[in-house]
Amino acid sequence: MIVVIDYDAGNLRSVETALEHLNSDFVVSANPEQVRGADTIIFPGVGEAAHAMGVLRRRGLDQALREAVGAGVPTLGICIGSQILLDESLEARDGVTRCIGLEAGTARFFSEDFAKRGISGLKVPHMGWNQVQPVDGHPASSLFDGIEPGSSFYFVHSYYPAPSDDAVTLGITEYGFPFVSAYGRGNLVATQFHPEKSGPVGLKLLDNFIRNFGG
C-alpha cells in the first residue's frame, strides 16, 4: 500500500486524483505508524518550510519518515517535500529551518540568489512549465523511462533544493541558472516539480516511480 503523507501542506487532492487515475492502492495518512508500515511513500505538498516542519514534528512524522526511508521504503518527495528532505531550508522566520535531513543540502531562495548573481527580470515564484533534463546514467534514471528528455513539467516554488552531493542530481532545470529539479539516492527520489500536475508526462513519471521503485 502506498502511503501519501498528510501534514496539512496544501493540496493533496491532486495527488489523490492522479493516483486514482493510475489505479493505485493508496491511503492518505497523518499517522506515523502507517508511515512506518508503508510499502511505498509519497511525500507531497506545497507551503512554508518552518510551518511544514512544525506539523511533521508534532505528529512524529519526521521521525517515522527517517525510519521508513532508512529501512529502504521507496519514497518520492514532491515540491516542498523535495526541499525539506534536505538538512535545512533558508525559508525561515530567522536564520534557517532545520529539516528532515535524509539528504545533505539546503533549500535556497531564488530571489536571494538572483540578487547575488545580478540576475533581474525573473518572477518569483517560478511558476509554470519548464523543461527537465534527466541525468544519464543516474541509478534512478528509470524514473524518466519513456519520457522524452527535456519534457516540460509544472513548477510552482520560490525555494529550490540544492543537495550538497552532485552525484544525486537526477534532473536539471534552468531558471536564471541551472538548478536541481530532481534528485535521488537509493530508495529516495524527489522532484521539485509536480508530476501530478504535469499532464501525461507527469502521470508517466508517477507510474514509473510506482512500478520501478514501489514496494
Partner 1 sequence: MLEKRIVVCLDVRDGKTTKGVKFQGNVDIGDPVEMARGYYEAGCDELVFYDITASSEGRGIFIDVVERVAREIFIPFCVGGGLGSIEDIRRVINAGAEKVSLNSQAVKNPAIISEGAAIFGRQCVVLGMDALKDPAMPSGYQVVINGGRVHTGRDALAWALEAEKLGAGEIVLNSIDTDGVRNGYEIELTKMISEAVGIPVVASGGAGEPEHLAQVLSEGRADAALIASMVHYGDYSISDIKRHLDSRGIPVRRT
CA distance 83 to 106: 7
Amino acid at position 153, single letter: F
- Residue 170 neighbours by CB under 8 Å, 6+ apart: 134, 135, 138, 140, 141, 143, 180, 182, 183, 184, 189
Residues taking part in catalysis: 79, 194, 196
21 binding partner 1? (CB under 8 A): yes
Q: Which of 13, 58, 117, 211 binds partner 1 (CB under 8 A)?
A: 13
Amino acid at position 97, single letter: T
Choice between 6 and 103, CB closer to partner 1: 6
Q: For helices 199-208 and 13-21, give the axis angle rounded to 10 degrees.
A: 80
Q: Which of 37, 47, 101, 214 binds partner 1 (CB under 8 A)?
A: 47
Choice between 80 and 85, CB closer to partner 1: 80
Tell which positions 88-117 bind partner 1, by CB under 8 A: 111
Q: Which of 41, 135, 202, 205 binds partner 1 (CB under 8 A)?
A: 202
Strands of 103-109's sheet in order across: 97-98, 86-89, 103-109, 159-163
Choice between 126 and 185, CB closer to partner 1: 126
Chain residues binding partner 1 by CB under 8 A are: 10-11, 13-14, 17-18, 20-21, 46-48, 111, 122-131, 151-152, 154-158, 174-175, 196-200, 202-203
